[in-house]
Chains A and B, each alone.
Chain A
C-alpha cells in the first residue's frame, strides 16, 4: 500500500521531496545523506515507541519523575561571575518591575532547543535547559523530550517551574521560547496553569547597549564580539533540529551530545552576558563607543541625571562617526528636557563642525523663538539652504520668506511707517491676501519654494552660482538612517 502510494506520489511531484517550507536544509539531508533507518514505520508504530534508555544514560540522563534529566556544573573559570549579578543590577537592567526583591540565586536561566525555527504549532521544544547561580559556578539542568508522545509531563513540569520561579532570564525568550511554551501548554490543554513569569529578556538590552558593535544580535555573535569567548567546534544552531530528528528516526542518541553541549554553552553564555550587562549598567564602560548606548539606556530607564552625564561623555569621547551621532542625540535629549540653552550650544557645535542640517534648523528655531536673533536665523538659513537637497530646501525657503517678512516689519516699525525694505523684497514682504495660497507658491507659478528662493536669490545676488552639493550626502549621514529633519514641536 505504502509502496504504491510512494510511487504515485513520486510521479505526481516529479520526484521532489514532499515538504518544502522555509528551511531548505532539513529535508535534503533526510533524503540522501542519512544512513537508512529502520524500514518504514508500520501503522502500529511499535518500532518508535522504544526509548533508548541506555544510550541516554551514557549521555548522563537519569529518569527523574518520568523526565530524562541531566545535570552538570559550569565552573567559574569560564568567566562567569560567581553568585551572579547583584539585585540592584538586575533591578536596573529590568527597570525593576519587582526584580529589586529577587535574589540572583533564585533566578532561572532558561533556554530551549526546538525541532525547527518555523514557529507555529508544529515546532516542538525537545530540550529544556535551566541554569542557576551557585557559589561554585552555574548549575545546569537539562530535560530531554525522549519521545514525542511524552510531551505532556515535560510541559507540565516546565509550567510548574515558571509559575514558582522568582524570575527567569532568557535571550530572545519574549519572542521565542516563552510563546512556544505557551503554545505547547495550549496544545496539551494545560493553558489553565500558564502563569507569565517575571521575565528578563537580554536581547533588547544587548540591542540597546551593544547593537552598534554587533553585525547580528545572536547569542553566538555576542560571545564572539562582546564576551571574547568565541565558540569552537560548536554545533551550528541550524543543525540542531536535524540531530534530534535523527535521534527519533534511528535512535542515534550519540548525535545529541553536541546539542547538549550547545545548550549548556548557551546557558553559560547567558550568565556571562548578564554579568557584562550588569557592569555596563553600573557605568563600567569598556569601550568608548559604548557611551551612547548606555546614555540611551539610562534615558529609557528614567535615570535622567545619569543620562545627561553619559550623553555629554558620549559626545565628547566617541570616535567618528559616532561623535556626530552622539552630539545629535545629546542635543535632542537636552531639548526634550527643556534645557534649550544647553541644547543650542550643542546644535551650534554640530552646525559649525559638520554643517549638520538638523542642527541648522534647530538653531534657527532657537534663535527665532528663544533668543529673538532674527538676523542670525536668516544667516544660518541662507547658508543651510545652499547645502540642502530640494525636499529640505523647501523648508528653509519658507523660513527665509518668513524671516524676511518679520525683519521687514521690524524695520518698518522702527522707521515708523508701514511698507517694506529693499526693492527686491518689497514684493514679497506684504501679507498675502486672505485665502490665497502660501506666497512661496505664488512667487513663481507652479514652482517650488526652493525654485522661488533661487529665483529671488539670483535677483539679489546675480553673481552667485549654485553651491548646493550634488547629493544629499550630509543629510543621509543622520543617525538611524533618517533622511528628514526633526521639526521641534
Chain B
C-alpha cells in the first residue's frame, strides 16, 4: 500500500516483522474444571504460555507482573484465578483497579461473559462516580468483584473502609491493570494508596495476591514492586500469536531548507491516510493532542467523504470518527462498537485509545507525530495486527527534536528497550498527604512503617500541627478534616485554581447531561456561575493571569481577574483574533548536593544531583495574533514569585573546558540546554513537560570550591572532593561555574533526576549525536530550538562545547 503511494524517498525505515505462531502452555491442573469448560465454550482452545504461567502462579498466591503487548489476552491471566477463588469459596472478594472508568466498564462486560459461560453467579459492578446509590450499597455488602479506579479507592473506599468489611475481610486478589500508566507523580500517589490498602487489609486479616498487568516497558517488575511494596514474579514470555507487520517510519520532506522546516506531519497524514482507507484497510490514526485529533478528523472527512472518488470496492460511504477524552460514554460505546463490527472504517484517536479498550484489531495504524516514548509508540502501533493478515504500522514523525531524532535513528525504535517507568513514593509532599489519609483510616502504631517509609518524624510533625494526637502508643487522627479529599492523585500540587465563567447562568433546567464534573471539584450548581475547568497552581500564573486569553475546548475566554488568595480565576467568553503567551523568568538555587560533582567515564562535564529551589516569576505577557504569530501588544503580570522546591541533576562545565570553548560558552550552553532537555525526556519515560531546564553561566555550585583561581582539572576528574554543606554566600556575586540544570517540574521531585544522574554519559552522548546528525546548517527546531531565539551560531557553539568536553586534554590552541 505504501509503495503504491510512490513516495518511497521519504521512508526512513521499512522493517518487516514476520508473523509469529502461538505457543501454548498446559492449563494448570488446579484450575476449577468449570472454568476450563467455560473457556472452551467461549472458543478458547488452550491457554497461551504466558496465560498458563500467570494463572498457575496466581493460583499459588504469587504476586505477579504480567507484561504483554496489546491483544494478547491478558485479562484471562487475572479473571481465571479470581473466578476460581470465588467458585471455591463464595465469600471471596477481588478488587480491580483501572486507570479510567471506561476501561472498568469494558472489563466488566468481559468478566461477566466468562462467568456466564461458567454458569456461575457473579455479583460484580463498576464502583465509581457514576454508580447508582442502590448498586453501591449492594456492592458493599455482596459484590464479588469491585471494578474501580485509584481515585475512587483513595477518596471513596479506603476512608470509609468500615462499610466495606465484607470486601476487606475476604479480599483474595487485587488486580492492577495498565500498570505502566502509574508512573511519575500519579504512580507515586497510587503506590501510597496501595500502602493504605495493604494497611487496611492487614487490619481485617486478609492477604490479597496482587496481579498486575503492564504494556511493554523496561522495568515492569521493578515498577510493580515499588507500587505494591512486595516482591513480584515477572511474566514476559508472550505466547500469543501475531501477524506479520510492516513497520514504516516516514519523515516529511523539508520545505524550507535554510530554516530546516519540514512539511507538517498532519498534512502528510492528510494524503496518506485516505489512500489507506480507500484501499479498504480499517485504519486507526493517533494524534498527539485533542486539538490535533479534531483537525485531522476535519481533513480526513473532507478527503474521504467530499471527494467524488468512490471507495475502490464500491462499498458504502466510509465512516470516519474521532475518539478522545471529553466524549460522552454513550458516544464512545457507539464508536467502539462501530470499530468492532467494521462500520467505522477510520478512527482518529488520542492516547485515550492507547489503553486496553476493546475495539478489535485494525489493519493499519498511523501515528501522526512521535508519541514521546518508545513504549507508547508500540502500544499505539500495536492496534494494527489482525490475525492472519499483514498489518501496516506507520509512524509519521514531526519536526521537533525528538521526532527528528527518531527519524535519523529509526533503528532506535527497534533496538532500544522501551523506557523505564519511574515512581518515587517517598516524595515528601506525596507521602505527607497519604500519611494523613492513612492516620484518618487507622491510627498509626508507634514504630509502624508506611510501606517501607519511616514516618515517625512526619507523624510528630503532624502532631505539632494538631492534626494527629499521640495516645496509648498510637497516633490518632484528631483534626476536623477529611484528608483524602485534599490530595488529588493526578497532580502533586494540592490546590488548584478554579476557573469560573461569570457570564453563563447555572445549568439550564431542561439541559442535557451535565458535564464530566464528577470529581472532587464538582460542578457547584446553583451558585450562579459555571466552572469551566481547573488548572494546577504552577501553571495558573502562565495561563489565567489577569487579561489572559484562556483556551478551553476551542473556545476563548478572557480572564477578568485572578484571585490568587482564593485560587479562583473569573473569566467570560470572548472572540478575539489573538492568544496570550506569558513569559516566565526562572532562577535556580542549589540547596543541597546529594551526589557529585564528579566526572564519569572520561567525560569532562561533571555530573551532580541534589535539591534546588526554582523561583519562577510570570512578569509579562504578549498578545500574539493567530496564524501570523506576530506580537500585537504586551502587558504586565503582577503575581507573587513562586518557589518550587524540587530535585535536579546538573552538568557542570569545568574551567578548562570553559576556557577552550571561549566565546562559544554562553550561546553554546543555552543551545545545549535545549538539546539536553529533549534528549533527557527521550531517555526517561517522561513527558518533556515533567522536566524543566535552566542554563547558568555563573552558577554557585555546592560542593566545589570557588572557580577562581582555576584548579588543576585532574582534581575534579578524580571526583573525590570533600562535600561542603553550604555554598559560600558570595559565590553568586563573585562568579561561579557554567552549568546546565535539569529539574523535576513537580514539587519534591518524582525520581526522574536521579535516573538522569545515572544516565549522564548516555544523555550527553545522545545530545552530541543528535547535533551531529542534524542536517541543518546553524540550528533548527529539530536540534537547538527555534533559531530566532538563539544566536545563529548556537548549534556550532554547542558542538564546540561538547567537543571540548569530550576531547582529551590538549593545548588550548589546538581547537578550531
Contact = CB atoms under 8 A, between A and B. Distances in A.
A456 interface: no
A41 B163 CA distance: 33
A120 B469 contact: no
Interface in A5-25: 5-6, 8-9, 11-14, 16-23, 25
A26 B436 CA distance: 15
A276 B15 CA distance: 86
Contact of B460 (A25, A40, A150): A40
B457 A19 contact: no
Nearest to B160: A120
B465 A19 contact: yes
B12 interface: no
Interface string A125-149: 0000000000000000000000111
B201 to A, nearest CB: 14
Interface string B444-484: 00100000000011101111111101111110111111110
B471 A17 contact: no
A39 to B, nearest CB: 9
Contacts of B457: 1-2, 5
Given A12-B645, A30-B466, A148-B471, A5 B486 contact: no
B159 A148 contact: no
Nearest to A182: B162
B461 A19 contact: no
Interface of A: 1-2, 5-6, 8-9, 11-14, 16-23, 25-27, 30-31, 34, 40-43, 45, 48-49, 115-122, 124, 147-150, 182-183, 186-187, 191, 241-242, 244-245, 248-249, 483
A120 B436 CA distance: 14
Most B Cβ at <10 Å: residue of A13, A34, A147, A183: A13
The 7 tightest CB contacts between A and B, nearest first, are: A149-B472, A21-B481, A122-B440, A116-B480, A30-B466, A45-B470, A118-B482
A9 B470 contact: no
Contact of A19 (B469, B481, B645, B748): B481
19 contacts: A2-B461, A9-B432, A12-B748, A18-B462, A18-B465, A19-B486, A21-B483, A27-B466, A30-B467, A31-B465, A48-B471, A49-B471, A115-B477, A122-B482, A122-B483, A124-B478, A148-B474, A149-B471, A183-B162
Contact of A122 (B159, B494, B642): B159
A435 B161 CA distance: 57
Contact of A21 (B441, B456, B472, B482): B482
Interface residues of B, number: 52
Given A8-B428, A121-B162, A245-B480, 12 more contacts: A2-B460, A17-B465, A19-B479, A23-B481, A26-B479, A40-B460, A120-B160, A120-B440, A121-B160, A122-B482, A124-B477, A186-B165
A407 B477 CA distance: 75
A25 B466 CA distance: 13
B643 A115 contact: no
B239 interface: no
Nearest to A15: B643
Contacts of B456: 43
B436 A124 contact: no
Contacts of A43: 446, 456, 460
Contact of B480 (A23, A148, A183): A23
Contact of A11 (B441, B482, B643): B643
B620 to A, nearest CB: 23
B747 interface: yes
Given A19-B465, A122-B441, A148 B472 contact: yes
Interface in B636-669: 642-643, 645
B442 interface: yes
Nearest to A46: B470
B496 to A, nearest CB: 12
A18 B428 CA distance: 12
Contact of A20 (B473, B494, B642): B494
A13 B486 CA distance: 13
